[in-house]
Amino acid sequence: MRTTLKIVLPLIVSVGSVSLLFAGYQMRNQRRILRNDLARRAEILADSLQESVERLLDRGQERNLQRLVERYGQRERIKGIAIYDAAGHTLAITPGLEPALPLHPTAETNAMRENRAVGEFLRPEETSTPQESDAVPEHLYALPLHRDDKVGGALVLIHDASYIERQVALTLRDALLNALVQTLLISALALFLVRWTYTEPLTRIAKWVRTLRTGQPNPLPAMVQGEIMEQLHHEVTHLARDLHSARAAAEVEARLRDSNASLWTAERLRVSLRDRLQDQPLFVVSNREPYMHVFEGSGKTIRMIVPASGVVTALEPVLLACNGTWVANGSGSADRETVDIFDRLRVPPDRPSYTLRRVWLTEEEDKGYYDGFSNEGLWPLCHVAHTRPIFRPEDWLQYQRINQRFADTVLQEMADVDSPILLAQDYHLALVPRMVKEVRPDARVAIFWHIPWPNAEVFGICPWQRELIEGLLGADLMGFHIQTHCNNFLETVDRALEALTEWDRFAVSRQGHVTRVRPYPISVASPENPIPDVDSADPAALRAALCNEMGIEATHLGVGVDRVDYTKGILERLRALERFFELSPAYQQRFTFVQIGAPSRTDIERYKNFLDEVTSEAERINARFQTSRWKPIVFRKKHHSHEEISRFYRAASLCMVTSLHDGMNLVAKEFVASREDERGVLILSTFAGAAHELTDALLVNPYDIAQLARAIHRALEMPEQEQAERMQRMRHTVRQHNVYRWAAHLLSDLTEIRIELVERAEA
């Protein structure tokens, strides 16, 4: 109650004060109106009498003036009338009025002297003698009288003005009474509304936070709708998440200390980077941005989305761990609306921890640099997926220009930083390392190549392989997912350039600069860090809920999560499913495979055609096997959030990753990390980098449709004990080799290069 009064009391005081001020204003306004009305009536009466009085004076009939005065002096609120000659002598006066008037009223004197009408209000003390105690306020109005065009006297009207003060007093009384009633009603309503909309919800939140602080499980109470309360609800929800995450991290750290284990966590990475970077910011540059803003509906609403990208999945924890700057292509339709004048934005929205600097590309530039050279040239070249790469000179020119633009933006961001650290990402920006290094030789530059690097003969197809390799060798550290890609890169350097390839320490020395080449298997967050606010129902209940949402009936679900890309082996996967249902008809109407396919690069003809191929193949297989309440394949061709995908991971009996060629493929690791129940089977292509670590998956050749079909059957028939043993070992691998370890090792090696350079300079 005291809190409510503290909130409402200022309102009560404010309402009361405003009401009193308004009452005072009403009183003054009423007095002014009544006085003006009285003066106007006096003026009208005096004007009507002036002609009659002057006519009598001209005729010398002064004796008739007294009758005129007595006749008009009986009107309402007229206290009396007096007529004076030019010398100020009284010619006629209302009986009984003379003692109450001064000998020469000021108004009468001024009217004759100035030859104009004069009116004035007299206070009681100005109209009374010392012997009178019942004097009242009066209004005197004097009008000059003329004889032979000269002032020959004055007409004075005296009105009783006491009714004005009585009327004003009544007005004041009513205003004060209204103010009191309004203040009481508003205060009562405010007390009720404040208790209902603020104090009671805040009390519930306080109790909830108290139970949360003591570790007792308790759902967040319902909140009253409203902008402020919704903001509070939003912030409190994130506070609860942070507290939950902090407790989970503390428990993990405690278990690690107890078992003397060494596991990389977000907090350990943050401390490690702070020590190694010595509070210097980390700069990351990539084509893909971590947060994208797009217009929705009529174009007035802006929505923020997180693009589906392995690069974003891997690098987000790194930037969250240390305050830095991420330079990326602003590709969202509303991206320009959300940045400041320097094209910067603090992200994530819920807890701003680092800066996103956006680079702007025109549609023509994006088509040449991204769609053309990067994804019609380098992508199929490196993935060796039997799609012919296309290299156009005009695309190469755009690729060079855009790489220079990214480099210039990075240099602008790091202008005020001594010995900056840059982590460049992927095949879109192969020229950036050298461009940055030429301007800032003191910068420590690393680039991580997220896709495979083919053998030297294959890469030699690229007409500009020399320029690309020279750009990459501008980096101090070159990272790949697996050792095979490192070997292929060094062999390509051997064939393409005159450089010293040091195979014993995996480095390239050229023109006095050394580039280290290392494998850093990228990963995801540890399994102990599940995505917050995800439905924690058991797999069976979750599977039933998902089937109900999709309008199907099934006792087993399989899942595949990919961009719709010809390198992911989606068509091979669907044909293997068809073969599986042919060989295992018992699983018809029992097993459904859900293919989550995010449309990708649809401006490129090959990708657009491939999306149509996958859609047609899924429809063909469904037409062959489906019933009214079941179908073998559900193709969900749209972007899904991490939370949505996680539900499918945890409900699925199996997950299929059948890449024809892949750098790592984080879907495999995400599936393993999400299976807290330690169940489910991973079917994994031997051509994905993840196969080198997740050896307990069912490893398959995605080109062998029969082998794929047998793997599906084996996964569905695998005993729970074997599932648990395999999943436990894979989860241990993902836990030990998580994304924090990847970032820590890569950046640790990069910072150590700086120490070696300093020592060499001193020597």
pLDDT in tens, 219-232: 656 555 555 556 66
Q: What does the block give as tokens for 719?
A: 């005993």
Which strands form 500-502's sheet, in the order they lie side by side? Answer: 344-347, 354-359, 324-329, 282-285, 421-425, 444-448, 477-480, 513-519, 507-510, 500-502
- Beta strand 118-122 pairing with 421-425: unpaired
Alpha-carbon gap, residue 557 to 590, rounded angstroms: 9
The answer, yes or no, to whether residue 128 has pLDDT greater than 80, is: no
591-623 residue pLDDT tens: 999 999 988 888 888 899 999 999 999 999 999
- Residue reference for tokens 């278990």: 255
| Residue with the larger pLDDT of the pair 410 and 194 | 410
Alpha-carbon gap, residue 374 to 390, rounded angstroms: 10
| Residue with the larger pLDDT of the pair 145 and 446 | 446
Alpha-carbon gap, residue 207 to 285, rounded angstroms: 45
Alpha-carbon gap, residue 735 to 676, rounded angstroms: 12
**Pick from 586, 718, 641: which is nearest to 312 by CA?**
641
Question: Picking from 185-194, 252-261, 676-685, which range would have the lowest pLDDT averaged per residue?
Answer: 252-261
Q: In angstroms, what CA-CA distances link 531 with 240, 526, 534, 650?
A: 13, 11, 6, 12
Long-range contacts of residues 604-607, Cβ cutoff 8 Å, at least 24 apart: 604/371, 604/375, 604/376, 606/376, 606/387, 606/566, 607/564, 607/565, 607/566
358-399 residue pLDDT tens: 999 999 999 999 999 999 999 999 998 888 999 999 999 999
Alpha-carbon gap, residue 377 to 369, rounded angstroms: 10
Three-state DSSP class for residue 634: strand
- Residue reference for tokens 């395999």: 726
The answer, yes or no, to whether residue 713 has pLDDT greater than 60, is: yes
Across 648-664, average pLDDT: 95
**Pick from 111, 115, 116, 133: which is nearest to 124 by CA?**
133
* Amino acid 226: pLDDT: 52
| Residue with the larger pLDDT of the pair 478 and 73 | 478
- Model confidence at 248, pLDDT cuts 50, 70, 90, reads low
**Superfamily of 281-361+406-519 according to CATH:** Glycogen Phosphorylase B; (3.40.50.2000)
The architecture that CATH gives domain 2-165 is 2-Layer Sandwich (3.30)
Out of 14-28, 295-309, 342-356, the most confident range is: 342-356
Across 400-426, average pLDDT: 94
- Left (φ > 0), alpha (ψ -120 to 50) or beta: where does 223 sit? beta
* Amino acid 201: pLDDT: 72
The architecture that CATH gives domain 539-737 is 3-Layer(aba) Sandwich (3.40)
The per-residue pLDDT of the chain, averaged, comes to: 84
* Amino acid 212: pLDDT: 63
**Pick from 733, 652, 654, 646: which is nearest to 313 by CA?**
646
Distance from the Cα of residue 60 to its chain's centroid? 95
**What number of other Cβ atoms are within 10 A of residue 749's Cβ?**
16
Whole-number percent of the chain with pLDDT over 70 = 84
Question: Do residues 428 and 448 make contact, with C-beta atoms less than 8 angstroms apart?
Answer: no
Alpha-carbon gap, residue 518 to 485, rounded angstroms: 9
User: Can you count the helices (H) and strands (E) in the chain?
Assistant: 25, 23
Alpha-carbon gap, residue 26 to 195, rounded angstroms: 34
* Amino acid 56: pLDDT: 78
* Amino acid 168: pLDDT: 83
The answer, yes or no, to whether residue 79 has pLDDT greater than 80, is: no
Q: Which helix (H) or strand (E) holds 749?
A: helix 739-762
**What number of other Cβ atoms are within 10 A of residue 285's Cβ?**
29
Question: Picking from 296-300, 403-407, 646-650, which range would have the lowest pLDDT averaged per residue?
Answer: 296-300
Alpha-carbon gap, residue 663 to 647, rounded angstroms: 25
The answer, yes or no, to whether residue 587 has pLDDT greater than 90, is: yes
* Amino acid 627: pLDDT: 93
Alpha-carbon gap, residue 50 to 744, rounded angstroms: 107
* Amino acid 241: pLDDT: 64
Question: Do residues 282 and 317 make contact, with C-beta atoms less than 8 angstroms apart?
Answer: no
267, exposed or middle or buried, with CB in 10 Å at 0-12, 13-18, 19+?
A: middle
Phi, psi of 219 (to 5 degrees): -70, 150
547-565 residue pLDDT tens: 999 999 999 999 999 989 9
**What number of other Cβ atoms are within 10 A of residue 759's Cβ?**
9
* Amino acid 14: pLDDT: 79
Q: Provide the Cα torsion 332, 333, 337, 339; round to 10°.
A: 20
- Left (φ > 0), alpha (ψ -120 to 50) or beta: where does 665 sit? left
In single-letter form, the type of residue at position 453 comes to W
- Model confidence at 527, pLDDT cuts 50, 70, 90, reads confident
Q: What does the block give as tokens for 668?
A: 């495999």
Alpha-carbon gap, residue 684 to 691, rounded angstroms: 7
In single-letter form, the type of residue at position 319 comes to L
